[in-house]
Structure 1
């Protein structure tokens, strides 16, 4: 993938340089469907939707086993597409909400920015031959705009009505994605990693953006690297990718220059991407930052000005 430049003003609240180009509560069973629909195989009626509380919807019987479980090519693409079309949001962010938060959407008037993130998405899809993947996004320096890039790239994947995106906040020291999406959280990734019996559905939050979900950082953040080197983290990454063949997973991390987290996570992910702040990083600094990643997994750099 070629290096890309994206520009959308400044990333709040850390720095004035922003990317140049390029609440809800958790759903108890992740993307929910009505229980009647699960039993009958048909879409639920409007009456069912009105009488069944959102938190009681359960799609566990509709979850599609991964290709790993059933064998390559065995996943029913039609069923996956139908499930995605039935994903519901307890709230939907309006165009004004998205503009205020600097999040792209299909009809955004900022076509230049939308097209640059679409281009990033296309290049990554070509790299993966159309398969879903896990991607680490990290800044070359603090305040590079990695969170902005991660959020909008995930939003770009969610443009496609046949696919979903999962955004994971792995910046345990200074998590910000829940604030960017105005989500009140009471649990997250570290809570799941800390407790072997923790239900993953408790940490997956709807974002107000169709087909995009968020896993926030969580409450335990004293020793981030220990969480990411754990066997449970490896299991988590394998599960969220292989369980949902339609889903693209984007991990937002602390800058690689201030923390080993991005490097650690890149070892258990498919690809990594470096965000470089325009005019605020030296060539030697960029080279040193890029050396923190496996060169076979580093897909490129995004210049944030």
Structure 2
């Protein structure tokens, strides 16, 4: 098991691949933001930001980004799953996505998959007048673009939950959900998806979402989740996808 602590090239050898990457790079370059957050606004939203001063929390997320990139060829979908509620899974998912968006050649999409207790749009202070994930999944004739929201962080978009639902099993295991994830990833080869999961010990949602992901990052509350609880949660996932544990302190 790999341990991470907070507080603690792709090769292209064909012409089509080169062309695809150039097109994607131009698309990402155009992916601006209507209101880029100031450092103070980022702090208020619990989002890391770049600065001239070295900060341990920013370096920690950059290190985690580097480790994930080293394990994959091309873009990927990462499930961020807390062991228990209050472990800080949403904090880690949000800031890991922001760390990927730091790179001008990459874009990130954060998908809030905690149907009972969604928090990303509230914490990030994003108005969601057009709904979100559940609205899209329930309306077969809808388009995903209207519910991908600007976050104020360049190259980072948010897909919020939208309508609240008690159980995500039927949504996350649906063909429409799988098709959505595949489409969001494949449209741009430099887009990285981050699924903010409900707690592993709260039901089957995290395990079902793991089927849609290429990598799983488990978040344990430092001093909150016991070694036994962490081991049980880790055992819920395919070892081939399991990237490691983030020990999160104080968030």
TM-score by length of 1: 0.76
DSSP-derived class of the 2:103 partner:
coil
Q: CA–CA distance in 1 between the matches of 2:205 and 2:31?
A: 32
Counterpart position of 2:57:
113
SS of 1:248's equivalent in the other structure is strand
Please tell me whether residue 152 in structure 1 is matched to residue 95 in structure 2. Answer: yes
Moved more, 158-167 or 288-297: 288-297
In structure 2, the residue matched to 1:18 is none
User: Where does 1:170-185 land on structure 2 (aligned, <5 Å)?
Assistant: 170-185=113-128
> Between Structure 1 and Structure 2, how many residues are aligned?
244
Conserved? CA contact 1:108–1:114, under 8 Å: no
2:152: which partner in 1? 208
Compute the RMSD of aligned alpha carbons.
1.9
Distance of 2:31 and 2:160 partners within structure 1: 20
Between the aligned partners of 2:16 and 2:22, the Cα distance in structure 1 is 16
Written as runs of structure 1 = structure 2, the 5 A alignment for 1:146-295 is 146-186=89-129, 187-295=131-239
Whether the 8 Å contact between 1:95 and 1:108 is mirrored in structure 2 is no
**Under a length normalisation based on structure 2, what TM-score does the superposition of the two structures give?**
0.92
**Mapped contact 2:116–2:164 kept (Cα < 8 A):** no
Which runs of 5 or more residues in structure 1 are unaligned?
8-20, 22-66
Q: C-alpha deviations, 1:134-155, integer Å up to 9, x for none?
A: 0100111111000000000000
* Correspondence 1:2 to 2:2: yes
From the CA coordinates, give the structure whose radius of gyration is larger: 1
- Please state whether the residue corresponding to 1:274 is helix, strand or coil: strand
State whether residues 21 and 189 of structure 2, in contact with CA within 8 Å, keep that contact through their aligned partners in structure 1. no
Structure 1 residue 219: Cα displacement: 0.7
Q: 3-state DSSP class of the match of 1:288?
A: helix
Q: Is the 8 A contact 1:204 1:214 kept in 2?
A: yes
Distance 2:124 2:52 in 1: 17
Structure 2: gaps spanning 5 or more residues: none
Matches within 5 A, 1:10-89: 21=8, 73=17, 75-89=19-33
| 2:202 counterpart SS class | coil
Match of 1:302 among 242, 246, 250: 246
Deviation at 1:108, TM superposition (A): 6.6
Q: Secondary structure of the equivalent of 2:163?
A: coil
Aligned-pair distance for 1:222? 3.0
Separation of aligned partners in 2, 1:296 and 1:84: 30
8 Å CA contact 1:191–1:220 kept in 2: the answer is: no
Matched, 1:132 2:75: yes
1:159-200 Cα shifts (integer Å, max 9, x gaps): 010110000000010000001110111310011111111111
Segments of 4+ moved more than 4 angstroms: none
